[in-house]
Amino acid sequence: MWAKPETIANVSINEYCFSKQQIKGVVKASQFKWTFIWSFNKGLLLVNPPLGRALIEDALLRFLLKRDYELEAGNDYILIISAKF
């Protein structure tokens, strides 16, 4: 039986602004690092830089949608991605 590929990503929430309806943070996985802004009222996720964005974008959005009410600024979270990179 083959083990499924996975990568552990660390998600840091830098800012949770309810008045702007946005969450800002950083994701680090392997040698990659991205910043993100999630406008949860619009369902819009912006991830930068574009290099490697496709690797993280869908998994990060699912994570944010599932855990949005649990997230707090200044906290770190773990996201497991079903891919090896």
- Give backbone dihedrals phi and psi of 18, rounded to 5 degrees, phi first: -70, -30
What residues are paired with 81 via a beta bridge? 7
- 22-67 pLDDT, tens digit per residue, is 999 999 998 899 999 999 999 899 999 998 888 899 999 999 999 9
Mean pLDDT confidence for 72-83: 93
Tell me the two tokens of residue 44: 């819009």
Residue 35 CB-half CA count within 13 A: 5
